[in-house]
Amino acid sequence: MRNAFDRAEEVFLVGSLAFNVVLIFIQVVMRYVFQNSLSWSEELARYIFLWQTWVGASYAVRMRRHFRVEMLVDLMKGRLRKWYELVVLLVWCAFALFIAWQGSVLTAFLIKRWQVSAAMQIPIAWAYASVPAGCAMMAIRLVMEMKDLLRDLRKGAAC
């Protein structure tokens, strides 16, 4: 399952990046060569970028690329450091779940109001749904990290 999740995330991020580059290139050519811009391309690029950002946050958890302040953790060694890391992951996961929940509430509100985007006339909730989706994916990644950390802690206790 983890490999399928990893692969889907990568395919989405690479595919959406390639699509966005082409979309923005076409917009630039239309605007500066043909003096006629597309009304919908900037809005679509912005919404794709939102999804890339939130799904990319999940990918950054997997790659351990989120910014961290490690001054305190660098002072710790062995099991104490692993337990500290576990607490940090728990707090981070709780925060990600909270944001996913609040994002879901906002997205549901926008679905009920049937608010549409200005240029493309698509439900604006599709763009806002990137927040709960990305945070839920990040929480799944954090649970996977906690599982690996607990396994390491158990191995250390068995030795």
Per-residue pLDDT tens digits for 98-118: 999 999 999 999 999 999 999
120 pLDDT higher than 70: yes
As a whole number, the mean pLDDT across the chain is 94
Instruction: Name the pLDDT band for 157 (thresholds 50, 70, 90).
Output: low
Q: pLDDT-derived band of residue 155, with 50, 70 and 90 as boundaries? A: confident
Burial class (CB in 10 A: 0-12, 13-18, 19+), 154: exposed
Phi, psi dihedral angles at 12 (to 5 degrees): -60, -50
Q: Is the dihedral of CA 82, 84, 88, 91 positive or negative?
A: positive
Kindly give the interhelix angle for 130-158 and 2-32, rounded to the nearest 10 degrees: 150
